[in-house]
Structures are given as structure tokens and as C-alpha cells.
Amino acid sequence: MCLFVSTRPGFYIHFTGLVLKIMIICLRTSRTGSTNFTIFNRGYNIQQTDNTMPLESPFNKKILTKDKENIFFTNVRNPYTRAISMWKHQRDGYWGRQKDKAHEIDTFEKFLEFDLEKVKQWRYRTWSHMCPISDYLGDYLKKLKYIFKLETLDKDIENFCKQENLKYKFNDSFVFKQSISNEDKDKYLTESNMKIIYDKYKDDFKNFNYEKSI
């Protein structure tokens, strides 16, 4: 019997008459540092899904069903700071550039109160950038082997490499600093706003072990 195991993320286990391929796949999420995290994925030859489309979309399905056995991970972020990031992204992006719709989210409070189902019906790509991560992942939430938190990313990467027998390649280009200033936290994370965020993203607080307080 012939056996060969490579430490590359897309590795093969070869037996006589049998080839089993195992892929490490990043389920990309939005406003979690995942865009810059692409640098990490490319460095380790990791496949990644498109976070502007449903995981059930034909494009993502080709990645997710490519192999019989996969290892999944995703990126997450504290829902409080993610909420501020999401609002700024929408205010300064596509939504904010729509003359007939920009007023709908011209304040953080309006953004928090907006019905996510209406957003989903209007434009999926916008919804995927402001929905609870748990809702976006759906059934794949239970399939995750690793969760990379923006707040502890370097430590999480190091642990991932250790567990998967990968050579740890430190690169400060994918070690992210918090982009939300203390001034913004003080300004936007009022008691009433935090309550709305917690209620709206409660599953993310629970599933990814974030505290209700900040």
C-alpha cells in the first residue's frame, strides 16, 4: 500500500486504487476583514467562496461540492464594531449613492432600524454585507472546524496552522488592526443602539462567543 500526505491545504491521501482529496475552504463573510484575508488564502492555496452570493449559488456550489470531504472555516467580528463598519460601508457605497434611497441610512440609528428582509428583496449583495453572519452561513455553521475572529486573528491563524500541520508564515499584511476608533465607539455604541444590535445579531453573539457588553 502506498501512502502520501502533503502539508499543503489542498492535499491528497493516496492509497493503491484510491485517491481521497481534502480541501480547506474559506466561507467568506462580509465586514469581517475577509477581503484582505484573501492574501492569507492565496498564500496557502485555500479555496474561498464569494460572499456577494448565496452559498447555494451555482458559483459557490462548485467550490463547496468539489470534494467529498472538506474542512471549512470562516471569519467573524464583534457584532458591535461590525455594525458600525457595515453602516459606513453602505453609507459611502452603493446604497448611499442612490439619490432616492440615501436618506434611508443617513444616520446610524436609521441603518440599525432598517428591515433586513426588505434589503434582501431589494439587493442580495447589500443584504449579505449587513446580515447576521449566522443567517448567511445557514447549515454550514455546523460544519465549521475553525472560526477566525478579527480581534484575535494572529493567534487564530497560528493555531490553525498548528492543527493542520501547515508551516506558519507570519505576514503583517493580514494581521488586522481594529478600524473602528474609540471615538466612534463612544459616539455610536449608545445603550439604545447596543440593545438594537444585540437583538438583531443575537445569534452571532451566541454562536461566536461574543459578550453582550463591550
List the domains of the chain with CATH numbers: 11-207 (3.40.50)
Number of helical (H) and strand (E) elements in the chain, helices listed first: 11, 5
Instruction: Report the pLDDT value the prediction gives residue 21, as an integer from 0 to 100.
Output: 60
The whole-model pTM stands at 0.85
Q: State the Cα–Cα distance between residues 81 and 144, nearest whole angstrom.
A: 23
Question: Which three three-digit cell numbers place residue 131?
Answer: 446580515
Alpha-helical (H) ranges within the chain are 34-43, 58-64, 79-91, 108-113, 116-122, 124-128, 133-137, 153-163, 182-188, 191-200, 202-207
Using the predicted structure, report yes or no on whether residue 65 has a pLDDT greater than 80. no
CB atoms near residue 87 (< 10 Å): 23
pLDDT band at 5 (very low <50, low <70, confident <90, very high): very low
